[in-house]
């Protein structure tokens, strides 16, 4: 029996009505169990706020005008709606606007009020029911009765969840194992959790790899013979912007490679420049030759994910490190120390800081590569606490800042959906940043309340702060102390912002440290 659109609409409403991650998972899993074949991929896309056709290109006014009449009882099947959207996407050229409006009216007149509301929000990109990727992965696992880790692993290599869900529900675990890393199909980079200090990191990992933490642009490089492609952490290809990296890889003898690394702009003395300057090398419109002369890039590779026909992501880190050292020359390797000795690690950390880097990474030697995951096997240590947060709103400035949006409302990501506000800051902003920030925030405006402009939660900003404090003023019960803007992270999406769990972990560690080393 064909799956009705109404079943997906109901699952969406149930997911949106609860803050419970488990309840969201169960609502989505229930409808996925009823789906078959293409219905699975369509349901996953719709419940993720997307369509299989991508952006249809229909405006709000056209959609709203299509809502002239409704039906009392649901009659639309999910497959019918997907087919209608495919026809809409294919309708182009002269007279297409009128034809699209007619097609939408024909679709909407067969929909209930609830279905029309769902479709309108879906097509304008405003369907928010908290079905983030993590919740969807959990729901697919529950529907297929498979371990979450298997679904997550397949999803990171497939690049989209619909095909993974279809394989999991239709064919099971054996088929999921076929999803693996492929050349020129980039995967999300593995991420790190913060650690308090070297002692904390080694206590958690034991003997570990201690590496420079370079404040640059994350790059993933794919090499297949003479074909070399460079991707950012957002999986955008930037090969033409980074000829230094391409030239470096042409000197490598290995025929097939996928490498994970960091690119950073250097000054005349070879010291790293600030992140914002490095990111100028990755702009959409730039004079590559001029920028190369002004901001030469160095690249440091720290992981090897694929070598000469063999994916290495499931191998332990020490094997990947060995493969990397065998594949590329020392000049392209991140400096690394393998140790369990806190004193040796502290010396390495101090040297990294002296060279102008922001800190070190500590990595477990037996861990596999968790693409897209923020696992406990990679830990980051910086001189100051920093968090990547999302701007939820901003306040108009006073005095010298009049006419600019200045005081930022900052939020951490809630994995169950939504954002948890942690405080505000107007510190650390230059005039140039204020001007850019105002333009970007107004372009994302959702509405105003007195002097506050609420915005779509899309811009990620790196915030430095001294510590955290308990605060009844904010829903999460925590607030940042002495927060200041370090810079916007144009390389990160809101889905990559730090979570409220990370913030709470930092606070718990702060309390434990205070108990161990009381003041006074």
List of residues 6+ apart from 160 with CB closer than 8 A: none
3-state helix, strand, coil in the chain (%, to 5): 40, 25, 35
Sheet (strand 227-232) strand order: 227-232, 217-224, 256-265, 297-307, 310-311
3-state secondary structure (DSSP) of residue 427: coil
Q: Tokens 């950012």 sit at which residue?
A: 232
**Are 241 and 295 within 8 A, CB to CB?**
no
Which residue spans within 81-196 are E strands per DSSP? 191-194
Rounded Cα gap, residues 433 and 459, in angstroms:
13
3-state secondary structure (DSSP) of residue 378: strand
Q: Tokens 């999300």 sit at which residue?
A: 188
Question: What's phi and psi for 341, nearest 5 deg?
Answer: -95, 115
- Which of the residues 24, 92, 213, 486 is marked catalytic? 213
273-304 residues labelled b (16+ CB within 10 A) or e (exposed):
bebebbbebbeeeeeeeebbeebebbbbbbbb
> Is 492 among the residues known to form the active site?
no
Q: Which residue, among 149, 158, 155, has the nearest Cα to 133 in the 3D structure?
A: 155
Q: Where are the alpha helices (DSSP H) in 238-395?
A: 243-250, 275-279, 288-294, 317-327, 342-354
3-state secondary structure (DSSP) of residue 300: strand
**Are 481 and 453 within 8 A, CB to CB?**
no
**Helices 78-90 and 5-16: angle between axes, nearest 10 degrees:** 90
**Are 223 and 379 within 8 A, CB to CB?**
no
Rounded Cα gap, residues 91 and 101, in angstroms:
11
Any idea which residues carry the catalytic annotation? Answer: 213
């Amino acid at each position: 029996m064909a799956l009705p659109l109404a079943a997906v609409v109901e699952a969406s409403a149930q997911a949106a009505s609860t803050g419970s991650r488990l309840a969201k998972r169960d609502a989505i899993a229930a409808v996925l169990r009823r789906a078959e074949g293409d219905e699975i991929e369509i349901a996953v896309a719709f419940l993720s706020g997307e369509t299989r056709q991508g952006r249809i290109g229909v405006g709000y006014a056209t959609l709203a005008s299509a809502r002239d009449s409704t039906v009392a009882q649901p009659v639309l099947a999910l497959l019918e709606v997907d087919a209608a959207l495919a026809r809409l996407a294919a309708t182009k050229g002269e007279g297409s606007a009128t034809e699209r409006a007619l097609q939408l009216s024909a679709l909407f007149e067969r929909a209930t009020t609830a279905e029309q509301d769902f479709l309108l929000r879906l097509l304008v990109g405003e369907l928010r029911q908290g079905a983030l990727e993590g919740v969807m992965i959990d729901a697919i696992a529950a529907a297929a009765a498979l371990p979450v880790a298997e679904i997550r692993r397949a999803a990171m290599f497939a690049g989209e969840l619909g095909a993974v869900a279809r394989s999991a529900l239709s064919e099971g675990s054996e088929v999921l194992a076929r999803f693996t890393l492929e050349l020129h199909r980039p995967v999300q980079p593995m991420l790190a959790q913060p650690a308090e200090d070297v002692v904390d990191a080694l206590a958690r990992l034991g003997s570990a790899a201690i590496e420079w933490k370079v404040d640059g642009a994350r790059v993933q490089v794919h090499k297949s013979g003479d074909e070399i492609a460079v991707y950012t952490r957002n999986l955008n290809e930037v090969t033409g912007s980074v000829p230094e990296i391409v030239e470096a890889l042409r000197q490598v003898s290995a025929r097939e490679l996928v490498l994970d690394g960091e690119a950073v702009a250097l000054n005349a003395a070879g010291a790293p420049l600030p992140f914002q300057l490095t990111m100028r090398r990755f702009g959409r419109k730039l004079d590559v030759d001029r920028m190369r002369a002004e901001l030469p890039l160095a690249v440091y590779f720290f992981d090897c994910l694929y070598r000469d026909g063999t994916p290495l992501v499931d191998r332990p880190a020490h094997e990947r490190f060995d493969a990397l050292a065998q594949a590329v020359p020392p000049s392209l390797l991140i400096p690394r120390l393998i140790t369990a000795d806190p004193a040796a690690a502290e010396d390495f950390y101090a040297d990294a800081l002296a060279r102008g880097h922001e800190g070190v990474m500590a990595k477990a030697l037996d861990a596999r590569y968790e693409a897209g995951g923020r696992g406990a096997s990679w830990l980051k240590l910086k001189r100051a606490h920093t968090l990547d947060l999302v701007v939820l709103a901003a306040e108009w400035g006073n005095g010298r800042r009049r006419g600019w949006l200045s005081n930022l409302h900052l939020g951490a990501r809630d994995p169950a959906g939504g954002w948890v506000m942690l405080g505000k800051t107007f510190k650390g902003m230059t005039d140039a940043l204020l001007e850019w920030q105002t333009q970007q925030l107004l372009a994302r405006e959702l509405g105003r309340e007195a002097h506050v402009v609420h915005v779509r939660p899309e811009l990620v900003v790196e915030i430095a702060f001294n510590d955290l404090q308990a605060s009844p003023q904010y829903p999460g019960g925590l607030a940042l102390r002495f927060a200041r803007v370090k810079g916007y992270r144009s390389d990160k999406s809101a889905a990559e912002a730090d979570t409220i769990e990370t913030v709470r972990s930092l606070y718990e560690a702060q309390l434990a440290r205070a108990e161990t080393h009381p003041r006074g």
